[in-house]
Amino acid sequence: MAGEAAYIDDLPELAGTLHCALGLSPVAHGTLKALALDALRALPGVVDIVTAADIPGVNDWGSIVKDDPILADKELNYLGQPVFAVIATTRELARRVAAKAKDTMQIEPLPAVIAHREAHQKGQYVLPPMHLQRGQARAAIDNAPHKLKGSFDVGGQEQFYLEGQISYAVPKEDGGMLVHCSTQHPSEMQHLVAHALHVQAHQVQVECRRMGGGFGGKESQSAPFACIAAVAARKLNRPVKLRLDRDDDFLITGRRHCFWYEYEVGYDDEGRVLGAEITMVSRAGHSADLSGPVMTRALCHFDNAYWLPDVSMHGFCAKTNTQSNTAFRGFGGPQGAIAIENIVDSIARALGCDPLDVRRANFYGQGQSTPYGQAVDDNVIHELVAELEASSDYRARRDAIAAFNATSPVLKRGLALTPVKFGISFNVKHFNQAGALVHVYSDGSILVNHGGTEMGQGLNTKVAQVVAHELGVPFESVRVTATDTQKVANTSATAASTGSDLNGKAAQDAARQIRERLAACAASLHGGEASQVRFAAGQVEVNGRSLPFTELVTAAYHERVQLWSDGFYATPGLSWNRETLQGRPFYYFAYGAAASEVIVDTLTGEWKLLRADVLHDVGRSLNPAIDIGQVEGAFIQGMGWLTMEELVWHPKTGLLTTHAPSTYKIPTANDCPADLRVRLYENANAEDSIHRSKAVGEPPLLLPFSVFFAIRDAVSSLGGHRVDPPLDAPATGEAILRAIGAVREAA
């Protein structure tokens, strides 16, 4: 890291720039009877206070369902909901004034529902329930030789992007508005700002050079800040910057959904699941946001890598008086898959088998189909897991761990190897499209613009590589510029791990068109067939001679050849019925597996990851260094979710008490195991993806399931591996200690 990348807060501020801070609801639920802002307006440095009444257009930023007010006016639905925006001459002043929010509001309190289980009991949902079924689950369970019934709880997770939410709105001529926005979804921001300002989309320009991380938290929830900054900038006709303080970011925005599960399965002597019923209840928060597609992805990942012949799944998005939960790396996939992993792990213990054997007995065979009707015809999980089992020395280490535990009364080791299968594509069909614009300048240098956004995942590098490859020029000849709604229109969020799949293909399409025009020009100037012209290493081979790419470009310019092109891509073959939850929502699957070994201190509940072996399928890697970085980052991030990141809402007031790094613990470099062995699996995408690569952004977040189940394994050693440790996620030290006590008592 050279510290050279500029983020929005690094942009030189325009003269007259004002700063914004938000006044938040101090209650989880209530009716706003009166708002008295005159005293605040009179404070020094305050230029204005913007409320819902100042929004010229629609007071809503909901991305799918229109249930998300930009600024609350009547009903307050969670503690932290923005009610007004203080506009002041400095950020510090704005924040100090906004902190007085509580004194300005006259509120009639209403009963608040904080926990998703309580909302479920009351039948309070943000969306209708979803059902995904195949076969006769009830009958299959009833007829199975063995049964297992239980419940399981998994916590949510804060995205903790290092760069918080920020928007900088700059009024332009003719009622135009430029918004610099840290967002994964510039086009959606453009439309929502246009609606809020009551102008046409063409009057709003949204630009995002890069984000300091998004992780799903800027897929939809960058919107209120873009809208508020733009409304204030319009009202005052001055540039307005809104950069959230970290505590406010925690209190205002949503995160990964907590999930609660109730399940019953029937299985045979080998541990094969014959029938499964599961109810999943997510904590959606006060509004729908992306909870629907998140639940859909959870339901579509309950199978993980396993063939479930008869299955009945029910998803409920519980409405609570908390922040509206949203996308986070994996987008419900991790929450769906960990439920079956927990079940399979328990089955192994009940049968006294090694969990890996039970997992393997359940793997999809070739050509079997998922509960939602998509054939799993690119399955490599058998080969991949066999390779990792051998390379991680799984069996020998299992024996060594048993021997260690037999002689170690306090420290206990545990091991687990878990598989991943993750579906790639947006589960909303029309999002699976992308556009790009490639300019070849007459000096041979190349500028690329595409609809994707850079958030540290290396998308711009990959797209530049694709373009450089297509035109046979060095990587250094290609530059990717900021994402800008004025360059590529109607883009999708950079999400669902599809950034390079979609934008790589679109940029390739644009570059290919230019190359074909250049080839035709070369053939007309130098003879030979256009189809025989080759572009490589900055040279062009035409009719037996070689000339520099730059020379051909200059010649083509003089011949009046169009040296720029747009490109477009739409993922083929997708279908999805939103009513029946059947079809082919995914273009392909990405696979992976990880083996993790932990050591647990049974006196304190502290633990340490000793070694992790990862084998992950990225198809034919576009960039192995980036891909390994993504796998490592996702592994540690997923480990944080399952073991240390704990969100605590006050059960009565609804205050998110863990609203800063002081109380919310994310993993650090010290939590990386000393021995982390990440390898990419030799594979090519069976589908015609960009250079046969596979998406890498989200799937590896599921790899650290192995850490969670290794902890469970270590704890279960205290009961001779006969007692199922009652362990929910996150497996914090306290939770581990409780599970240890329960296993000891039962054994």
Distance CA 725, CA 403 (A): 21
Q: Establish how many alpha carbons lie within 13 A of residue 683's alpha carbon, considering only the half-sphere containing its beta carbon.
A: 26
Active-site annotation holds for 108: no
Q: What is the DSSP letter of 654?
A: -
Beta bridge partners of 590: 422
213 interface partner picked from ligand HPA, ligand MOS, ligand MTE, none, CB below 5 to 8 A per type: ligand MTE
Site for ligand MTE in 90-129 (CB under 6 A): none
Within 8 A by CB and 6+ apart from 331, the residues are: 216, 290, 293, 294, 297, 495, 496, 698
Q: Please, what's the b/e burial string for 171-196 (b: 16 or more CB within 10 A of its CB; e: otherwise)?
A: beeeeebbbbbbbbbbbbbbbbbbbb
Site for ligand HPA in 561-590 (CB under 6 A): none
Q: What is the DSSP letter of 731?
A: -
Q: What is the DSSP letter of 485?
A: T
The residue from 104, 184, 287, 643 that contacts ligand MOS (CB under 6 A) is 184
Residue range at the interface with ligand MOS (CB under 6 A); choices 30-38, 230-238, 326-334, 403-411: 326-334
699 prior amide bond cis, ω within 30: no
- Calculate Rg over the CA atoms of the chain: 27
Among 207, 646, 698, 745, which one carries the catalytic annotation? 698
If one asks whether residue 599 binds ligand MTE (CB under 6 A), the answer comes out as: no
CB of 276 to ligand HPA, least distance (A): 23
If one asks whether residue 451 binds ligand MTE (CB under 6 A), the answer comes out as: no
Residue range at the interface with ligand MOS (CB under 6 A); choices 327-335, 384-392, 527-535, 711-719: 327-335
If one asks whether residue 701 binds ligand HPA (CB under 6 A), the answer comes out as: no
H or E element: which one contains 630?
helix 624-643
Asked whether the beta carbons of 459 and 452 are under 8 A apart, the reply is yes
Distance CA 581, CA 202 (A): 36
If one asks whether residue 293 binds ligand HPA (CB under 6 A), the answer comes out as: yes
CB of 496 to ligand MTE, least distance (A): 6
CB of 300 to ligand MTE, least distance (A): 16
The residue from 168, 331, 422, 705 that contacts ligand HPA (CB under 6 A) is 331
DSSP labels, 78-96: STT-EEEEEEESSHHHHHH
Nearer of residues 434 and 440 to ligand MTE, judged by Cβ: 434
CB of 697 to ligand MOS, least distance (A): 6
If one asks whether residue 435 binds ligand HPA (CB under 6 A), the answer comes out as: no
Site for ligand MTE in 620-659 (CB under 6 A): 630, 633
CB of 157 to ligand MOS, least distance (A): 11
The residue from 8, 428, 468, 626 that contacts ligand HPA (CB under 6 A) is 428
Site for ligand MTE in 311-340 (CB under 6 A): 329
What tokens were used for 301? 């990942």
DSSP labels, 571-587: -TT-EEETTTTEEE--S
Distance CA 736, CA 600 (A): 9
428 interface partner picked from ligand MTE, ligand MOS, ligand HPA, none, CB below 5 to 8 A per type: ligand HPA
Quick one: which of 525, 535, 583, 592 has its CA closest to 557? 525
Asked whether the beta carbons of 594 and 693 are under 8 A apart, the reply is no
If one asks whether residue 256 binds ligand MOS (CB under 6 A), the answer comes out as: no
The residue from 243, 329, 616, 659 that contacts ligand MOS (CB under 6 A) is 329
Helices (H), 644-732: 705-716
Interface with ligand MTE (CB under 6 A): 213-216, 329, 455-457, 459, 494-500, 630, 633, 695, 697-698
What residues act catalytically? 698
Positions touching ligand HPA (CB under 6 A) are 219, 290, 293, 297, 327, 331, 426-428, 431, 493, 495-496
Q: Which residues bind ligand MOS (CB under 6 A)?
A: 184, 216, 219, 327-329, 331, 495-496, 698
